[in-house]
Amino acid sequence: MKLPETKRKVLVMGVGNTLLQDDGVGIHVTELLRSGGHDETLVTYIDGGTIGLSLLPCIEEADALIIVDASELNAPPGTVRVFRGNEIEQLMNGRKRSVHEVAVSDLLSAAALRGTCPERRALVAIQPGSTELGLEPTTDVLAAIPAACKAVTELTSGYQYDA
């Protein structure tokens, strides 16, 4: 007899500054998902802004975490890549790839020290084209938002249930 699946609480946190063109892509992705009528019963979408330790309680309450951020991937603007679990820390251990990297790293480290960092975690990273002053993402990054949304949705579906 198969036991019923257990649903998990998933936190989707967009990170960035929407005043700096592509830097705000994490926020744009999260806002689009939130406004798209997705089931928010066990999925919470938040604007993490330029991040801070005040977000630690949100992470501690989640069973799974998905961060969406502009990151230097050494790829063409608009490239979307997904990093899971320890891949996030490995990405951050090299040279700086995101203006929020230190804050994300600090936040994850603080949660780990407290024993509350979700095992299921991912970073949906989008290569920026420009982080100059501007309210809209560049054309390439704007075109990548649907792919980033799809990646988040797939991760969310996978993270919500026990196998």
Return the SS3 of 54: helix
Residue 3 lies in a domain: no
DSSP, res 66: E
Residue 2 lies in a domain: no
Interval 140-147 mean pLDDT: 98
- Is 98 within 8 Å of 69 (Cβ atoms)? yes
**What's the number of domains the chain is made of?**
1
pTM comes to 0.89
Burial class (CB in 10 A: 0-12, 13-18, 19+), 112: exposed
Can you give the CATH number for the domain in which 75 is found? 3.40.50.1450
pLDDT at 3: 47
Q: What domain range includes position 35?
A: 10-160
DSSP, res 147: H
- Tens-place pLDDT, residues 62-86: 999 999 999 999 999 999 999 999 8
Residue 34 lies in a domain: yes
Beta strands in the chain (DSSP E): 10-14, 43-47, 64-70, 80-84, 120-126
CA dist 73 and 19 (Å) reads 21
pLDDT exceeds cutoff 80 at 145:
yes
pLDDT at 130: 95
pLDDT at 39: 60
Query: Considering only CA atoms, which of 29, 64, 23, 5 is closest in space to residue 151?
Result: 29
pLDDT at 80: 98
- Tens-place pLDDT, residues 7-53: 789 999 999 999 999 999 999 999 999 988 666 678 999 999 877 77
Residue 134 makes CB contacts below 8 A (sequence gap 6+) with 19, 20, 21
Of 33-37, 56-60, 92-96, 154-158, where does mean pLDDT reach its minimum?
92-96
CA dist 23 and 129 (Å) reads 9
